[in-house]
Amino acid sequence: MTARRPAISDAIEALFATRGAALVDVPVLQPADPFLDMAGEDLRRRIFLTESETGRSLCLRPEFTIPVCLDHIASQAGTPRRYAYLGEVFRQRRDGAAEFFQAGIEDLGDRDTAKADARSVADAIALLELALPKAGLVTTLGDQAVFEAVLAALGLPRGWRMRLARAFGSRAMLEAALADLANPPRNGQFPPEVAALAVDGDAEALAAHLAEGMEKVGLSASAGRTPADIARRLIEKAQLRSVRLSDEAFAALKAFLAIKVPLDGAAAALAGFAADAGLSLGAALDSFAARAAAIAGHGRNAGAIVYDAAFGRPLDYYTGLVFEISIDGGDRPLAGGGRYDRLLTLLGATAPIPGVGFSVWLDRIEAAREGVQ
């Protein structure tokens, strides 16, 4: 069953034109690998997969950011460039139709990241104000780069920084990671020989031991991950379990994650936190302050934009700003977006291209329009 084009679509497309964003149409069938590699665990579970006649993995378009970026790279278009879209996406969902409409803008190549971030937030708010003029909107803003700067300043090893950064978009995953960091689990769940080799970091000996064990039980080393792959992963787990933050550092991390203030006071709150904890957040804090000032320059109600230090979005490609907009008191976001400066290079661009964008859920907007009118 084809989803019905929302009644507000023409007005949204007209708004995009005033924002200098050209409408693009990307194919519904997309290569699956970029989504499986970069879209995050939550979205990966909900993708509709299929195959081409040659056996290539394909999927129905689950979102627009990756397809728009792939289309930009293939077209070899110059930057800066703003792309708009309005069309169906396809996701397995517990509630609601699996096919629904999204609209949004992807802003590629603008080197003034504070200005581009602020414009993305302002455009998303403007779209929702157009669609829901009587609704009270609240914007929640987070920053992946600030979070990662705090982790680095606390002296966490790379493995832990990566695990916590991946968990940033999921409260449950982040809480679980913090619990492990506070009280690292023992290696006792591994057989003694495996645990000893993993703690020693002897990848070659551990791989040989695993290969011997697999051979004894009749498992082929080529049927899945190799003994070397398994050995590397076990050593990584053992190294993560060997790290325990000092009480002072763990208290500082918890204090950071507890910061939740209106945006107009957020830069000062972060500076105060860094001073109290004796941490240097460097360029990440400077970029945050510049973005906050640029958002204020759009004349938005600063009290309706909240910075939540623990807020992230469950997509792996975000590198800085992340945000969601909902009706005050609502339980589901109507719009979400963020910055993804590494994404285009990972997708095959020959030079780095900064990017930021947002999407709105038009089915949720239509349901909200019925509720507020």
123 and 84 in a single domain? The answer is: yes
301 and 231 in a single domain? The answer is: no
Cα–Cα distance measured from residue 144 to residue 214, given in angstroms and rounded to the nearest whole number = 41
Residues 6+ apart with CB under 8 A from 109: 78, 79, 80, 81, 353, 354, 355
214 and 311 in a single domain? The answer is: no
Q: Is residue 137 part of a domain?
A: yes
Residues 6+ apart with CB under 8 A from 354: 108, 109, 110, 111, 113, 116, 339, 341
Q: Is residue 353 part of a domain?
A: yes
pLDDT the model gives residue 196: 62
Secondary-structure breakdown of the chain: helix, strand, coil percentages, each rounded to the nearest 5 = 50, 15, 35
Q: Is residue 180 part of a domain?
A: no
For 279, what's the count of Cα atoms within 13 Å in the CB-facing half-sphere?
A: 29
Domain with 56, as residue range(s), is 9-151+258-372
Q: Is residue 297 part of a domain?
A: yes
- Nearest alpha carbon to residue 38 among 337, 357, 352, 343: 343
21 and 81 in a single domain? The answer is: yes
Q: For residue 58, what are the β-bridge partners?
A: 31, 50
pLDDT the model gives residue 270: 97
CATH at 66: 3.30.930.10
**For residue 83, what are the CA distances in angstroms to 207, 236, 320, 339?**
48, 41, 20, 15
Collapsing DSSP to helix, strand or coil, 171 comes out as: helix
Residues 6+ apart with CB under 8 A from 29: 50, 58, 59, 60, 61
- 163's tokens: 């695990």
pLDDT the model gives residue 123: 96
Secondary structure letter of residue 55 according to DSSP: -
- Total number of residues shown for the chain: 373
User: At 164, which amino acid appears?
Assistant: L
Q: Are 362 and 368 in contact (CB under 8 A)?
A: no
pLDDT the model gives residue 222: 47
* Residue 362 exposed, middle or buried by CB count within 10 Å (0-12, 13-18, 19+): buried
Distance between alpha carbon 289 and the CA centroid of its chain, in Å?
A: 21
Element (H or E) spanning 363, and its range?
helix 362-372
220 and 280 in a single domain? The answer is: no
Q: Tens-digit pLDDT profile for the chain (373 aa)? A: 467 899 999 999 999 999 999 999 999 999 999 998 887 777 888 899 998 888 899 999 999 999 999 999 999 999 999 999 999 999 987 777 899 999 999 999 999 999 999 999 999 999 999 999 988 999 999 999 999 999 999 988 777 888 888 888 888 888 888 887 777 655 445 666 666 665 556 678 777 877 777 766 666 554 456 777 777 766 666 665 656 667 888 899 999 999 999 999 999 999 999 999 999 999 999 999 999 999 999 987 656 899 999 999 988 889 999 999 999 888 899 999 999 999 999 999 999 999 999 999 999 999 998 875 4
264 and 205 in a single domain? The answer is: no
27 and 106 in a single domain? The answer is: yes
pLDDT the model gives residue 148: 94
Overall domain count for the chain: 2
pLDDT the model gives residue 291: 96
Collapsing DSSP to helix, strand or coil, 181 comes out as: helix
194 and 86 in a single domain? The answer is: no
Cα–Cα distance measured from residue 190 to residue 210, given in angstroms and rounded to the nearest whole number = 12
